[in-house]
Amino acid sequence: MSRKPVTTRTGRFFRLAGMTGSVASSYAARKARGLFSEESEESRHEYYSRMAEEIVDTLGELKGAVMKVGQIASQTQDFLPRELTDALQRLQKEAPAMEFAVIRQQIESELGDSVENLFASVDETPYAAASIGQVHAGQLLDGRQVVIKIQYPGVDRSCDSDLRQLRTALRLGGLLKMPKESVDDLFNEVRDRLHEELDYENEARNIHHFAQQHGGDDGILIPEAIPERSSRRVLTMEKVEGDHISEVTRERYDQETINLIGHRIFRTMADGLFRHRCIHGDPHAGNFAYRPDGTVVLYDFGCVKTLRPSTVAAYRHCIVDALNEDYAALDQHLIHLGARVEDHPPVDPEYYRMWRNIFYQPLDPGNQPYDYGQSDLHQQVAANTRSVFQYLNAFKPPVESILIDRMIAGHYWMMKRLGVKTDFRPLLEEYLEQESD
């Protein structure tokens, strides 16, 4: 169901300011009650749940930067209450569409002509709706089938003020569990990536770059951008179809094909990280499609990050250290990666061993071929998150590598949903032995 958008900066400011005031008042009342009685676990849960609902409802209504940062924050689970991260994760699944009249106006404003003169047809029902824009199927005047990605009005102009308001709301609501310096780094990284993602001309360049990067890869398809029907806020691409992950069923895809798809996905991820140092940072199910011959289609290149050589080197060393159970070296390389506070005493090796043993399971020779469909790694991670608080002051959000973590987590979920059953250890070792280009 479509909602009436809040497209002006003033309207967005007041909507967010109202949310911030409400959250801050609730936090002040909670603190006042705490002066007279000890807060119960039930009361704390009720408070966090109520705040989470109010924040998520507002972000979902406003779309744009605040909704996108909410999605990213949901993956930084160590630094937000679980009630909030659980609610924020819904934003990845719930992106209500904007009415077509608004979309039409945006297309015509950006491309300088009527929709009828620009396209033979545009489907008024969105193909997909997301946080900063939505996609409509269409046809060019020459008959080519395309998809048109249209940015919601006002999103780019309000990006910075939206982020400031959201940060204020989280701080005044007592919902941020990290030092100010880490908050600054995290929000600066999110802002920089969002400014890039809001520039569809930049995305068109990314598409061209990734098409060249994977031009020689068998079974990888990347749709071509149509520059004459694109602008900073409208991006038209050729329509390259495939099955959504929910359509990859055993009736149409045998295990061998699913494993082939898994290997192709792994290679695109590892090539981007270790060889090209340029990664697709938004690998959720909607940005991939599949064909019964094992072809993988990649979509949406707005969230792309070029990595520093030192970051890739530190990440590679961390993986090697964990595989070799060299926890003293791992501690030092995490400092180089920016994930560990340098002046904090070394972390207990047993803490590292616990996490290493969880993440090592898909690479353990005794578990091969590893069945991702039956994997419960995410449940093991959730069951051990409380241990993070023991070392909260020793770690900080690894801003330079946060999209790497996001990419790997997204690929894990795709492997699980696809039901990949294979051994990635030889492939991983191949990349760990290479130096990036």
Catalytic machinery residues: 282
33: CB partners within 8 A, 6+ apart: 39
374: CB partners within 8 A, 6+ apart: none
Torsion angles phi and psi, residue 121, rounded to 5: -160, 150
Q: How many CA atoms lie within 13 A of 85 on its CB side?
A: 15
Q: Alpha helix locations (H) across 35-148? A: 41-62, 64-73, 82-89, 100-111, 115-118
Q: Which long-range CB contacts under 8 A does 424-428 form with residues at least 24 apart?
A: 424/262, 424/263, 424/266, 424/362, 424/363, 424/370, 425/363, 425/365, 425/368, 427/263, 427/266, 427/267, 427/270, 428/270, 428/319, 428/363
> Which pair of structure tokens corresponds to residue 159?
């990006």
Residue in the block written with tokens 């290149």: 301
Strand partners, 361: none
**Quick one: which of 305, 304, 266, 300 has its CA closest to 285?**
300
Contact 118, 152 (CB under 8 A): no
**Quick one: which of 254, 258, 297, 299 has its CA closest to 280?**
299
Rounded Cα distance, 337 and 304, in Å = 19
Torsion angles phi and psi, residue 146, rounded to 5: -135, 170
Query: Terminal CA-to-CA distance of the chain, rounded, Å?
Result: 48
Rounded Cα distance, 210 and 298, in Å = 10
